[in-house]
Amino acid sequence: DQQVKQNSPSLSVQEGRISILNCDYTNSMFDYFLWYKKYPAEGPTFLISISSIKDKNEDGRFTVFLNKSAKHLSLHIVPSQPGDSAVYFCAASAPTQGGSEKLVFGKGTKLTVNP
């Protein structure tokens, strides 16, 4: 059972336009959500996060929106740049015994920003 779903395996946008990456989750216990990006042959790098007590978090060109009732979050990149071309992973965490953060990842969306 996939608890975190990224239904679009790929997305292509023009430079300067908005990129919108979507993520759905099923576990209502998730209370923290993160987006990562991954370039080929490199480890994932943290991009932006949001707590379940918020519905929006912004960091420069990146904004994450959370809709708890729909169990949906999205990442907006405005304006998109060719260097943003990467695979973007959505991840969610729920409190666990011992207080650790066990992240559950989506399968990723490959974003291509065309010059």
Three-state secondary structure readout of 7-35: CCCEEEEECCCCEEEEEEECCCCCCEEEE
∠ CA 19-33-73, nearest 5°, is 45
The CA distance from 37 to 61, in Å, is 14
Residue 21 lies near another protein (rule: CB under 8 A): no
Contact pick of 84, 85, 89, 113 for another protein (by CB under 8 A): 89
Residue range at the interface with another protein (CB under 8 A); choices 14-22, 59-67, 71-79, 99-107: 99-107
Residue 4 lies near another protein (rule: CB under 8 A): yes
Q: Which of residues 57-86 bind another protein (CB under 8 A)?
A: none
Contact pick of 8, 27, 49, 52 for another protein (by CB under 8 A): 49
